[in-house]
Amino acid sequence: MKAVIRSIADATPEVRILELAAADGSALPPYEPGAHVDVTLPDGITRQYSLCCAAPSPQRYRIAVKREPQSRGGSAWLHDVAGEGSMLDIGMPRNAFALVREAPMHLLFAGGIGITPVLSMVYALSRSGASFRLAVFARAADLVPFAGELEAAPLGPSTSMHCALSADETGARIDALLAAAPDGTHVYACGPAPFMAAVTERAAARFGAGAVHTESFGAAAPAAGDRPFVLRLLRSGREVAVPAGRSALACLQEAGVDIESSCEVGVCGTCMTRVRGGEADHRDSYLTTAERAACFLPCVSRAATPVLSVDL
């Protein structure tokens, strides 16, 4: 749907907050805390941004955009070109980072711009009277987006700030927060990949992997155990080698295979490809359990077998 930017404000030197409304004045679709929307810019680039309103409203969406030094066009345009009245295309809200409402306690970790999906979640928990703790980590205090809201009521009493820490200090703070949480706690994390890895590894050891929930809109870093594999393209009869340090999507595109893509971080489903043989190593935040039995997203996922046969 067409959306218009109603207001723009700078949250930090790196982060800009935009409020969006339906261009025709109609009601915006409802969403659950943790949801995001696809935002398509006038040049055709599509990026995903979390909805971070204090409460869902049919009149407005709020997103926050961090200027990325290696921007592929999305954050740079929204910082340097977009203004009040600029038009965007937005998709329907999607949520792969939902709260587990029945959990007795919620412990949320946000690293930097990772506060964006978490913010709507803690507001919802506060409104419902649920037990939660929010831990915000940042390189410096003046780089915490929404700091004023986080420090004020109703979030302030349940929020702690952790700034300018070394990796070891960050790990120690995470350990202490997890140790203080009661059994049955569910843990949520969003932020840079190393930060989320530190949280998820520790949280899974404390509460079990099923109690840990993450969201990432950054490109995944190659994992230490990644192995090369071969994509067998059944329609063309070709084979495409995928080295350990590269994505399957990049290798397909380099080989001249016509495959649509958008987010390149496993959240939009545009590059979804059917698997006809072998086993995929799923690393996306989009596919359902049923879809994972038959498909994979080559932008982030890999193969768990030496050869993965796909319908291309």
Q: Which secondary structure element, helix H or strand E, spans residue 291, and what is its range?
A: helix 289-292
Residue 223: its pLDDT value, please?
61
pLDDT at 70: 62
Low-confidence ranges of the chain (pLDDT < 70): 70-73, 217-224
Which sign, positive or negative, has the C-alpha torsion 155, 182, 205, 33? negative
For residue 74, CA distances in Å to 14, 20, 62, 83, 147 come to 14, 16, 16, 14, 24
The per-residue pLDDT for 63 is 97
pLDDT at 104: 96
The residue among 92, 88, 101 whose CA lies nearest residue 31 is 92
Give the tens place of pLDDT for each residue, 65-82: 999 876 556 788 999 999
In this prediction, residue 45 carries a pLDDT of 81
Q: Which alpha helices (DSSP H) does 40-114 contain, by range?
A: 74-80
pLDDT at 217: 65
Model pLDDT, residue 220: 56
Which pLDDT value is given to residue 75? Answer: 87
Sign of CA dihedral 22, 25, 29, 35: positive
Asked whether 121 and 130 are in contact (CB, 8 A), the reply is no
Token pair listed for 106? 């919620």
Q: Which domains does the chain have, with CATH numbers?
A: 2-90 (2.40.30.10), 106-215 (3.40.50.80), 229-310 (3.10.20.30)
For the entire predicted model, the pTM comes to: 0.80
Q: Are 16 and 68 in contact (CB under 8 A)?
A: no
Instruction: Judge whether 33 and 94 are in contact, CB under 8 Å.
Output: no
Cα–Cα distance measured from residue 96 to residue 188, given in angstroms and rounded to the nearest whole number: 12
Is 30 within 8 Å of 56 (Cβ atoms)?
Answer: yes
pLDDT score at 245: 85
